[in-house]
Structure 1
Amino acid sequence: MAGQLGIGALLVLAAVLFARWQDFSGTHLGSPTHAAMAGAALAAWTGWVVVAAWPRRPAVPPRDAGAILVVHASQTGFAIELAERTAALLRDGGAEVDLRQVSTLTAGDLVSARRALFIASTTGEGDAPDIATGFQREVMRAGADLHALRYAVLALGDRDYDDFCAFGRDLDRWLRTHGAIPWFDRVDVDNGDEGALRHWQHQVAQAIGAADQADWSRPAYQPWRLHERALLNEGSVGGPCFHVALVPEDDAHLAWHAGDVVEIGPRRARGHDERLPHREYSIASVPADGALHLVVRQQRHADGTLGSGSGWLTALAQPGDTIDLRVRRNPGFHAPADDRPVLLVGNGTGIAGLRALLKTRLARGHHRNWLLFGERHAQADRLHVDELEHWHGAGMLERLDLVWSRESPGPRYVQDRLRTASETVRRFVAEGASIYVCGSLAGMAPGVDTALREILGDSAIEQLAAAGRYRRDVY
């Protein structure tokens, strides 16, 4: 309204000046040419004043308009947890937040966004999380004009691997290449390093002009007790593998979902208070079991010393000793809520995560379960196999394929068994099956992925992953 009044006043002034010019030109300007030139100059001046004063819409929205995108790409749930903390920090600072899983993100979302924070895990040998493969294919390969976007990346990884934080770094590079402007520098996090996480928290708060908040710290461990431990593979040529049962001091902590991950805070020896870096394990039980079960293979270094995590759980800690742990949500490996078929594939200690999924399915009355499990020897390496055979015999496990790599004839590995059962795999998937893979990253996981791609095709596998029907917990 103020702009319109100002323009009206300028037009009135122009009209008065024009009338005075007519009087003046008739008396003082010596020729028609001079009069025309003066009139043209007055008209040009009037037009310039009106155009300059006319209110305009901005060509693009201001950079700080709209919700801040907070995007997580997670394999085991840690990136989700950090994304939720980041979103809470932003909301506490007065910002509007759009919290998204990377698989739901389109190029259009990024083009229209003005601010975005990415929390990106790396899995395997520098790979993107399974949930991000569709984003890589459909968005990162296609490209987008992101000149209006300010962004930052929190890259999660482990320096023990050569391709440290590879996906987070690739994402950062892609965003820059397509014109996005770094809001602040990428923050790389080594194995949950608290200093790096504090730096991210500070940078986010600074970016939105919020007051610094109390430092984030790793959620507190809860005291549990080692209840029992039993060797599962006596006589095996492989490393000793143990069933470990832990019970909480407070039964209220018997709360998790199949597929969740437990973080253990190991110690050097009984009675020593020094904590070592945490270790993560797939949970092999459900809360109804009254204890948290693990399947742990004892590791030894080249010099014969025990691995810190496995050594603590399988040898150093004694029944009754306190075990520091916390359960972390891992929704990317939870069982489907409905009764669709599931295809479960794993080897070695991967039976832990698959066992918990099966227990959840059976408790719900969902019996369309097909398990392919591989180990070395049929006699010595029967990791919970008696229980599996019981479920199969009772009709609760539709199909059970056990594959022994040191025995012949027949397929030696689970990926080989998949190939020989390719028609059944295709039928299961056509009937809506979800695929779960749990176990070793080296050998088994890539072998199974290759076999499934041969059977179903690359496009189908990527569609299954994007739909949450191809899930992996590999290490």
Structure 2
Amino acid sequence: MNLRPSRALLGNVLVIGALLLIAALLLRLHVDDSGWQVAPRPRDWQWAVTSLLAYVGLCGVLWWRMRPRIERVDPSQRPVLVVWASQTGFALQLAERTADALRSAGLAVRLRSIEALDATLLAQSDRVLFVASTTGEGDPPDHAAPFLQRMDQPMPGLAHLQYGVLALGDRSYDHYCAFGHQLDGWLRRHGARAMFDTVEVNNADPASLRHWQQLLGQLGGAPTEQPDWTAIDYQPWTLVQREHLNPGSVGGPVHWLRLRPPVDQADVRWQAGDIAEIGPRHAPAVVDAWLRSHALDGDARLDDGQTLHQHLSRSHLPGVTAGGDLPTLLSLLQPLPHREYSIASAAHEDAVDLVLRRQVRDDGTPGIGSGWLCDIAQLGDTIDLRVRRNPNFHGVAADVPLILIGNGTGIAGLRAHLRERDAAGASRNWLLFGERSAAHDFHFRTELEQMQQRGMLERLDAVFSRDGAPHRYVQHRLQAEAPLLQRWVDDGATILVCGSLQGMAPAVDAVIEEVVGAKRKDALVVAGRYRRDVY
């Protein structure tokens, strides 16, 4: 679905046109040969009443769309606060979609315009998401003026608050996404904790919006099952390797996959930190069973050359088929949402490596994305894949020290950086990695230890929560190495964190803030020296 802000622009043009038409009609009262009428004519009364009713109706529609709304799922659950700041209506549209996505995940939601945001509302919230546009040369939307005045006033600490920002802007301007970053800085100064880095959206960039939608699914505890807001132009990659990395582990199975690009696009490039967007499919047996239950022929050819079976394998399977009418059925189909995985290989290797854990639903069935990649797809099969740039997690120059921190399958994004730096001859690297047990969950152990032996990996700290060591998690190990962390930061090191949004990332963030101080941590974020890829 097209999310570009042209609808809002068209609406503004229509309103202006309507006002000009009304002005032209009223002007006739002044140029009529009979002069100004003391008693309005019946036709004039009709025009006046019609205009008044239209105005009242428009105000009612706007109030209905902008009214405070809340859906309570669990009386003990504090709603997620979604705040929008919009100049043309596009941010409001995205905020409404954000709220719908959270509700579909079972979360209670408050949707508010930014002028309604005050200390009381923030105190009543544990999590807040901002969808904020920037206008002109870094200006906030006009209706944000009341909140801007509150920003300059004393505000109680917000240490209880977690937040995320979707910043809309135009990269052709010098102060790109300035208001979104202004909000981020204000929240940090008052002690609020970012759940993830600010997501910048350049001119309604579809990839950035898909990334935001993916993060919303993580807030709900699982990837969203809603169709992607914007369609993805996948490429046909080939699955050439799949290896089970942790047999015998008490945790979920972790698989290492390798995919090759299509022959005619072998020059596709990426950097360490970029993301693979995967289009999952249903198991063939699931689609076959659905077709049989609805008495439909899966071999039927569609206008795009695909069979009905192929089309269904990439779609949510509806509960009704409108009596077997194929066009109606096709109109009901919604594509399966994409899944995002950190790329675990460097571009010079000419293959995309993925590291993912097989997810299981409450009913015991595998998740859509991990089930497709770990259980269903066979070596040699085509995988729908698109590389998404993620510049906020790209690497640094070879002469810059790098601290890499992660847990679980977060090793994927960190491994890509290590392999990229290995090729560049960078040796000032420190990896802190956490998992369950060394015997089963030390992913890429041989490779990492060889890097350490060659001097490419200056320091390797691996901790395992089930092995009984003093430091169960990476944040504990990082805390124990506080003086060393301080020295590396003083030497100009950049910190990259990759792994779980719940637990690891906020705990590591708290340690970094404790060691270097809140102001310096914020300065590291602003300077791009502290970056995160969390999920």
Provide the TM-score with structure 2 as the length reference.
0.53
Provide the rounded CA distance (Å) in 2 between the counterparts of 1:391 and 1:452: 26
| Contact 1:233–1:241 (8 Å) recurs in 2 | yes
What SS is found at the alignment partner of 2:467?
coil
Which of residues 139, 144, 147 in structure 2 aligns to 1:110? 139
- Give CA deviations for 1:409-430 in whole Å, capped at 9, x if unaligned: 3200000001100000000000
2:471 matched to 1:411?
yes
Say whether residues 1:233 and 2:270 are aligned partners: no
Query: Kindly tell me: are residues 141 and 260 of structure 1, through their superposed partners in 2, closer, same or farther at Cα, counting changes over 3 Å?
Result: closer
Structure 1 residues 344 and 308: alpha-carbon distance in aligned structure 2, compared to 1, 3 A threshold: same
Q: 1:244 aligns with which of 251, 257, 262?
A: 257
Provide the residue aligned with 1:279 in structure 2.
Answer: 339
Q: Given that residues 107 and 139 in structure 1 are in contact (C-alpha distance below 8 angstroms), is that contact kept between their aligned partners in structure 2?
A: no
Give, in angstroms, the shift of residue 255 of structure 1.
1.1
Match of 2:503 among 443, 464, 467: 443
Cα gap change, 1:453/1:407 in structure 2, threshold over 3 Å: closer, same or farther?
A: same
Distance in 2, matches of 1:326 and 1:340, equals 30
Residues 203-260 of structure 1 show CA distances to partners (whole Å, capped at 9, x for unaligned) of xxxxxxxxxxxxxx53410001110100000110000000001112225244111100
Pair 317,364 (structure 1): closer, same or farther in 2 beyond 3 Å: same
Pairwise mapping of residues 71-110 of structure 1 onto structure 2 (< 5 A)? 109-110=138-139
The answer for the alignment partner of 1:262 in structure 2 is 276
Q: Hey, what's the Cα distance between the residues in 1 that align with 2:187 and 2:499? A: 29
Indicate how the Cα distance of structure 1 residues 379 and 163 shifts in structure 2: closer, same or farther if over 3 A, else same.
closer
Name the SS of the counterpart of 2:248 in structure 1. Answer: coil
String of CA shifts for 1:274-319, please: whole Å, max 9, x gaps: 3221000000001222311000100111111010000000010000
Distance 2:423 2:514 in 1: 34
- Helix, strand or coil for the counterpart of 1:361? helix
Q: Kindly report which structure 2 residues correspond to 1:121-132, keeping only aligned pairs within 5 A, or say none.
A: 126-128=163-165
Partner of 1:289: 349
Q: Which amino acid in 1 is paired with 2:139?
A: L
Q: Which residue of 2 aligns with 1:374?
A: 434
Residue 315 of structure 1 aligns to a residue in which SS?
Answer: helix
Is the 1:261–1:327 Cα contact (8 Å) retained in structure 2?
yes
CA distance in 1, matches of 2:135, 2:310: 51
Q: 1:272 to 1:300 in 2, by over 3 A?
A: farther
Question: How many percent of aligned residue pairs carry the same amino acid?
Answer: 48
Aligned AA (1:349): T
Q: Tell whether 2:367 aligns with 1:307.
A: yes
The DSSP-based 3-state class of the residue aligned with 1:380 is helix
User: Within 2, Cα distance between the matches of 1:465 and 1:392?
Assistant: 28
Secondary structure of 2:370's match? helix
Most deviating of 258-267 and 281-290:
281-290
Q: In 2 relative to 1, CA 415–129 (structure 1 residues): closer, same or farther, beyond 3 Å?
A: farther
- Name the CA shift for 1:159/1:472 in 2 (closer, same or farther; >3 Å): closer
Q: If you compute each CA radius of gyration, which structure gives the higher value, 1 or 2? A: 1
CA offset digits 1:34-82 (Å, max 9, x no partner): xxxxxxxxxxxxxxxxxxxxxxxxxxxxxxxxxx99x99xxxxxxxxxx
Query: 1:474 and 2:534 equivalent?
Result: yes
Whether 1:397 aligns to 2:397 is no
Structure 1 residue 393: Cα displacement: 0.8
State the TM-score, normalizing by the size of structure 1. Answer: 0.60
Offset, 1:193: 3.9
Letter in 2 for 1:467: A
SS, match of residue 234 in structure 1: coil
- Map of 1:50-69 to 2, 5 A cutoff? none
* Residues 342, 370 of structure 1: 8 Å contact kept: yes
* Structure 1 pair 326–456 and aligned structure 2 pair: CA distance change class (3 A): same
Local SS of the residue matching 1:335? coil
Retained in 2: the 8 A contact 1:125–1:163? no
The verdict on how the C-alpha distance between 1:227 and 1:347 changes in structure 2, with shifts beyond 3 A counting, is same
Give yes or no for contact 1:285–1:291 (8 Å, CA) kept in 2: yes
Structure 2 unaligned regions, length at least 5: 1-86, 92-130, 145-160, 168-176, 190-201, 285-308, 315-335
Letter in 2 for 1:226: L
Q: Contact (CA 8 Å) 1:159, 1:190: kept in 2 or not?
A: no
Could you tell me how far apart the structure 1 residues matched to 2:217 and 2:417 are?
30
Q: What SS does structure 1 have at the residue aligned with 2:439? A: coil
Query: Are 1:432 and 2:492 an aligned pair?
Result: yes
8 Å CA contact retained: 1:262, 1:281: yes
Distance in 2, matches of 1:140 and 1:440, equals 22
Equivalent residue number for residue 222 of structure 1:
235
Corresponding residue for 1:135? 182
**Counterpart residue type for residue 266 of structure 2:** A
Distance across 1 between alignment mates of 2:372 and 2:352: 16
Instruction: Give the stretch that moved more between structures: 281-290 or 307-316.
Output: 281-290
- Which ranges of structure 1 fall in alignment gaps of 5 or more residues? 1-67, 73-101, 117-123, 143-151, 165-188, 195-216
How far apart, CA to CA, are the structure 1 residues paired with 2:522 and 2:135? 16
**Residues 294, 456 of structure 1: alpha-carbon distance in 2 compared, 3 angstrom cutoff:** same
